[in-house]
Amino acid sequence: MTADGKSLLVTGGSRGIGAAVSRLAARQGWRVAVNYVRDQDAAGRVVAEIEQAGGEAFAVQGDVGSEADVLSMFEAVDKRFGGLDGLVNNAGVVDVASRVDEMSLQRIERMLRINVTGSILCAREAVRRMSTRHGGNGGAIVNLSSAAATLGSPGLYVDYAAAKGAVDVFTLGLAKEVAAEGIRVNAVRPGIIDTEIHASGGEPDRVAQMRDMLPMKREGTADEVAEAVIWLLSDASSYTTGSVVSVTGGR
């Protein structure tokens, strides 16, 4: 699945699944733009790991929920790589456990702005660069969904589940829209994965609490999710588009 110097942007690439994708992509020959919002040091560490292993990467700051930031981010990729061959829409947020009747407008808007609008804005800019309709050479987009999209997450974060459900539908629609323009669009749907996102949602012990309820009796790793993402980016999945690959351990 060697990428032979193709260029890739990974949003939210400084930690968790995004960092795992960035590292694995670099090992497969991708030149990687590692996006971050606030933690420049974490992004720098991912870039340093890639460079020490002989790969090429750079860190680029930007909030995917801000159109101005998205435009600036893609301009930085243009300047550094001279084009784009792949996009991983990984940046996303969750929130503390809450019923819908307890959610604030601010929370709901933030959830949708980053998880849905951000993915659409980044895909828009990627299509403008990769589509043969716009003079591009084609490419691949992989969106990060969640098992929550199929489970609904009642009593926890229905808003997050709804946002990821929107990502699934967006993946299907965009895939059909650009299929004849050299772009494949797919998604990966992680289940319970051992990353920092659980702590950011106020449940640092969620993995341990869920472990015995999972069919495989263990959580997944960010590296296992990254393997699916990289496959969907690669030519090995050349006839796959509009698909959602579940990496959920059977959940």
pLDDT tens profile 28-49: 999 999 999 999 999 999 999 9
Residue type, 202: G
Q: Give the long-range contacts of residues 175-179, CB within 8 A, separation 24 or more.
A: 175/241, 175/242, 176/242, 178/127, 178/131, 179/241, 179/242
| pLDDT tens track for 84-127 | 999 999 999 999 999 999 999 999 999 999 999 999 999 999 99
**C-alpha to C-alpha distance for 204 and 103, rounded to whole angstroms:** 21
- Assess whether 157 carries a catalytic annotation: no
Strands, DSSP E only, in the chain? 7-10, 31-36, 57-61, 86-89, 139-144, 183-190, 244-247
**What predicted TM-score, i.e. pTM, was given to this entire model?**
0.94
Predicted confidence (pLDDT) at residue 210 exceeds the cutoff of 90 = no
Q: Which of 231, 230, 225, 232 is nearest to 248 (CA)?
A: 225
Neighbours of 5 (CB within 10 A): 11
Under 8 Å between Cβ of 88 and 10: yes
Domain boundaries, the chain: 7-247
Residue type, 132: T
Under 8 Å between Cβ of 157 and 98: yes
**C-alpha to C-alpha distance for 106 and 1, rounded to whole angstroms:** 42
Residue type, 225: V
CATH T-level assignment (fold) for domain 7-247: Rossmann fold (3.40.50)
Band the pLDDT of 211: cuts 50, 70, 90. Answer: confident
Radius of gyration of the chain (CA): 17
Of the candidates 36, 157, 160, 239, the residue annotated as catalytic is 160
Q: Which of 1, 16, 15, 24 is nearest to 221 (CA)?
A: 16
